[in-house]
Amino acid sequence: MSNCIFCKIVREEAPAAIVYRDEQVTAFRDIHPAAPTHILIVPNRHIDSVNALTAEDESLAGHLLTVAGQLAAREGIAETGYRVITNTGPHGGQTVSHLHVHLIGGQPMRHPMG
């Protein structure tokens, strides 16, 4: 989608602090971090949300989580713990209609969520 901010970041048409990129995903720091480490991991191709995933996307969905774990280790938060969150739809808190996961850590997380 041409107006999607995450698509623009993937195409390097919008600025972002990119921390990881491969053929399938791009990861960058959230501009409104909820914790010391807050990284967004997005597919390089536009997918609206979890609801738009198909069976053909299973490898990509797994790759999003694998990259989250790799980045947690790189950021030094793997041992103490972190959250990986995907918001879907307005009631789920999704504000950008491009599938993405939040890697959040670097401090104790509050509970319960929701």
Position 111 in a domain? no
- Please state the pTM of the whole predicted model: 0.95
Per-residue pLDDT tens over the stretch 52-90: 999 999 999 999 999 999 999 999 999 999 999 999 999
pLDDT band at 1 (very low <50, low <70, confident <90, very high): low
Q: Using CA atoms of 43, 49, 54, 59 in order, give the dihedral in degrees to the nearest 10.
A: 30
Q: Which residue carries 């807050």 as its tokens?
A: 38
- Is pLDDT at 112 greater than 90 in this prediction? no
Number of domains in the chain: 1
Q: Which residue in the block uniquely carries the two structure tokens 């808190």?
A: 93
Residue 53 lies in a domain: yes
Q: What is the set of active-site residues?
A: 100
Q: Indicate whether 31 pLDDT > 70.
A: yes
State the alpha helices, DSSP H only, in 1-114: 5-10, 58-75
Q: How confident is the model at residue 37 (pLDDT cuts 50, 70, 90)?
A: very high
Domain boundaries, position 9: 5-105
Q: Is residue 112 part of a domain?
A: no
Instruction: Output the domain CATH number for residue 23.
Output: 3.30.428.10
Inter-residue contact 72 to 105 (CB < 8 Å): yes
Residue 29 belongs to a domain: yes
